[in-house]
Structure 1
Amino acid sequence: MLNKLTDRQIKAIKNLPDGKTKHPFPDGGGLFLLVRSSAKGGVRKSWIFRYSLNKKRSDLGMGSYPTVSLSEARTMRDRYAKALSAGQDPKAVKDVEMSEALAVSRAAANVPTLENMSHQAFEAIRATLKESAAHRWMTPLRLYVHPTIGSVPITQIDQHVLHDCLKPVWRTKHPSAVKALRRVNIALKHATAAGLDVDLQAAQKAKIILGEVDHEEVGRPSLHYRDAPHFYAQLPNDGAALLLKALMLTGVRSAEMRLARIEKIEWNEAILTSPREIVKGRKRTTKDNRIALSSEAVRVLRCAAGDRTEGHIFRNLQRSAYSDNAVSKLMRDSNWLKEREIKATPHGMRSTFKAFILERHHEIPPHIVELVLSHTIENKVGAAYTRTDQIEQQRCALERWGRFLCGDKTPVIDQFSPDEKKFEAQ
């Protein structure tokens, strides 16, 4: 008769019959609950499978109760009884099972978590990233992935795990969520290269499940070019205001001017060179950026540099470079902008410059404006044949812009001027 015991009966066993130190309670089919007296008092309970093979009786231990439950013990009994009927030694079968379980356990212990693999992948590509990009690389993972699934073994990451993790932010913080998913994909590729069995399509499949998002890219708030001269005129000639003036006059990105150094200025040529380390782009593909300086830009830079010959052109009270927030705060706190209910940012001034040239100076080719703004030429063939930065043509555009900001209506006579104006200037 099988299955004689019940959990209630097993729990009720508190003592052994008088004079006995151990006693087997049969469940049937060779399964016994072996109860032993404990040195600390009470009893200890464990499972054994009793069988005969080649006329030799053996007891096979199967674990203690209640660590191994009654139902689990019966499942093991049935498995060993089946092996015995096939002529196999249940002990040998158990040894194989334990070896396989140990191998799986060791493999699981050696599998890095998603967070660990993310850090390994980051270190592998760190040399290709600029300092600012490297500083931000882990941020999407740290905010939206690691707190939830960072401790999950990388081999267990699939589209469903990623879907559940990123679903709460997929629509509300879509750009950051997409960045996080891309970085997870990089970690999965790194895991594959390390010889781990991962789903390389997990990120792509998760993106499909998460669905498309009608996310509209919103540009940085910018000042209309007609308002620019009035805003420029009320800026003082000191501190962060000088830096803001320089950003307006040159159209460069904030970092290139905030971190610009005096020794990189060619005063005679009116050129400021930004080393590629601070130019936006991939570390191995970016080049030094030469910035053309209009006459007004030269004046502003001389005012900021003073009689110094080295160091940052624009310095705060601690004599270090201004932060990006310092310039942004200057515009946020501007009474002139608040009174007119105008929202604008330093970066938006690049759009202001572009609109001015495109609307007011049709004689200047649009690609010159893109060169001033350090935009990548989308046409790959055109980019391959562009061997010069056309610095003088850039200067022509910036000189027009600088005079406009200063309210100087004196016409600019240069290569883009109509022929009749060139003749009158001779």
Structure 2
Amino acid sequence: MAAISKLTARGISALPPGKHSDGAGLWFWNRGENSKQWILRITVHGRRREMGLGGWPDVTLADARKLAKHWRSQAKAGVDPVKQREKERRQAERNLHLLRDVAADAFESRKAELKGDGKAGRWFSPLELHVLPKLGGVPVADIDQIDIRDALRPIWHSKADTARKAMNRLSIAIKHGAALGLDVDLQAVDKAKALLGAQRHVAKNIPAMPWSDVPGFYQTLSDGTVTHLALRLLILTGVRTAALRNCRVEQIEGDIWTIPAEFMKGRKGKTEDFRVSLSKEAQTVIKQALAHERGGWLLPGTRGKGPISDMTLSQLMARRKVEARPHGFRTSLRTWLADCTDAPHEVAETVLGHATGTTVSRAYQRSDHLEQRRVLMERWADHVTGALSSVVRLHG
């Protein structure tokens, strides 16, 4: 039997340049000029393989013998040590992906399906504010339900909606990691939810003004400022504040306002623009607003070159101690449609820019009910301005 363990830890430093056998395929190679390393010679499937085991003195004689024993056993089992080590190295590199990097990559891959390519940051902010400060520097493959529970427990009940969004985004990031080939726990989020338990927070709807009170409020918006005109147009059209704020003069032609698809939240799967029928009253408001136009914005802000701030309208209502909020006028309009008209459900929902029906039904039913909406929006304007008090019926 060939001798093994020929070298000694104390004698290695005195070995001259050249290769020195420790036995069983383990060699110490003194390259000179302070370069010394361990080499293992091994035969796999009839082929001689040679692999480095690290440099001395970082890898001691004892370490080298342990490594050699491990790889010899792999070779005896028919595994190529060189290929196996490379495979393990690649796997280790994949598993070192940090959550912050995987989450950012997941965000990039989803931008196309987010409003405005997610530039407002609302998709990523729950992760950025409540998860990444605690877990961003952790390899995504190491994250488990305990980590997630501890990160979100402080806001699980106090900021329930934000916590829910953060949990959802985190789940997407972990699935993205799995798609990258990382060894992640796809059940970690569900297990964290089980640990956190049911949320005590009860979601509250955005306060809305009763439709019967809207005419009185509308009459108070009479000073012709951008803020008053913006609120009037918001009430008359039932659009979201983002679409209103970002209204450009070129989007309006006659009695039609065409809102770009990127501002039409709530129409999942829709990629086309949305037409809003403008009542005579709405057109009058727009003509008044044109006197304030700046840089193409119909409703410009008081500072800079952009549109009116998203807080301006809310602050006006808050100063007046009105409980309702600007977004709530959509509810006022929808409730009026239900209480005072016989508009079909799909028409009433389209007034608010909502998609109705299944994906298949929408593929065949492509009407935006513009003519029916034109009648309804004119009657709504009559109600808002105090010119209508009767129930509206749609015929024909």
TM-score bracket for the superposition, by shorter chain length: 0.7 to 0.9
Structure 1 CA distance for aligned equivalents of residues 63 and 213 of structure 2: 89
Q: Is the 8 A contact 1:130 1:283 kept in 2?
A: no
Q: Which deviates the most, 131-140 or 190-199?
A: 131-140
Select the structure of larger CA radius of gyration. 1
Offset from partner CA, 1:141-194 (integer Å, 9 cap, x none): 111111111111111011222122222222222221122122222222222222
Structure 2 CA distance for aligned equivalents of residues 274 and 55 of structure 1: 81
3-state secondary structure, aligned to 1:59? coil
1:153 alignment partner in structure 2 = 139
Q: State the 1:376 CA deviation.
A: 2.1
Whether 1:138 and 2:124 are equivalent positions in the alignment is: yes
Whether 1:356 and 2:336 are equivalent positions in the alignment is: yes
Which of 272, 276, 295 does residue 257 from structure 2 map onto?
272
Structure 2 CA distance for aligned equivalents of residues 223 and 386 of structure 1: 33
Structure 2 length as normaliser, TM-score? 0.73
Q: 1:406 to 1:165 in 2, by over 3 A?
A: same
1:344 alignment partner in structure 2 = 324
Number of equivalenced pairs: 328
1:187 alignment partner in structure 2 = 173
Instruction: Structure 2 unaligned segments of length 5 or more: list them.
Output: 11-60, 72-80
Structure 2 CA distance for aligned equivalents of residues 355 and 196 of structure 1: 49
Which of 118, 130, 151 does residue 165 from structure 1 map onto?
151
* Letter of the structure 2 residue corresponding to residue 322 of structure 1: I
Whether 1:299 and 2:284 are equivalent positions in the alignment is: yes
Structure 1 CA distance for aligned equivalents of residues 162 and 200 of structure 2: 15
Q: CA RMSD in A?
A: 3.2
Listed as ranges, the matches of 1:327-338 within 5 Å are: 327-334=313-320, 338=321
Offset from partner CA, 1:400-420 (integer Å, 9 cap, x none): 1111111114879x9726x9x
* Letter of the structure 2 residue corresponding to residue 377 of structure 1: T
2:18 alignment partner in structure 1 = none
Structure 1 CA distance for aligned equivalents of residues 6 and 253 of structure 2: 97
Q: State the 1:297 CA deviation.
A: 0.5
* Letter of the structure 1 residue corresponding to residue 376 of structure 2: A
Q: State the 1:391 CA deviation.
A: 0.8
Structure 2 CA distance for aligned equivalents of residues 97 and 139 of structure 1: 50
Q: Is the 8 A contact 2:334 2:348 kept in 1?
A: yes
* Letter of the structure 2 residue corresponding to residue 278 of structure 1: F
Structure 1 CA distance for aligned equivalents of residues 385 and 3 of structure 2: 107
Q: Is the 8 A contact 1:129 1:283 kept in 2?
A: no
Whether 1:93 and 2:42 are equivalent positions in the alignment is: no
Q: Is the 8 A contact 2:299 2:307 kept in 1?
A: yes
Instruction: Structure 1 unaligned segments of length 5 or more: list them.
Output: 1-52, 62-88, 420-426
2:273 alignment partner in structure 1 = 288
Whether 1:118 and 2:97 are equivalent positions in the alignment is: no
2:206 alignment partner in structure 1 = 220
Listed as ranges, the matches of 1:241-260 within 5 Å are: 241-260=228-247
Structure 1 length as normaliser, TM-score? 0.69
* Letter of the structure 2 residue corresponding to residue 404 of structure 1: H
Structure 2 CA distance for aligned equivalents of residues 115 and 144 of structure 1: 12
Q: 1:92 to 1:212 in 2, by over 3 A?
A: same
Structure 1 CA distance for aligned equivalents of residues 117 and 202 of structure 2: 26
Q: State the 1:125 CA deviation.
A: 2.3
Q: State the 1:301 CA deviation.
A: 0.7
Offset from partner CA, 1:210-263 (integer Å, 9 cap, x none): 222254331111111121111100112221110110000000111111111111
Whether 1:367 and 2:339 are equivalent positions in the alignment is: no
* Letter of the structure 2 residue corresponding to residue 397 of structure 1: L
Q: Is the 8 A contact 1:128 1:282 kept in 2?
A: no
Q: State the 1:287 CA deviation.
A: 1.8
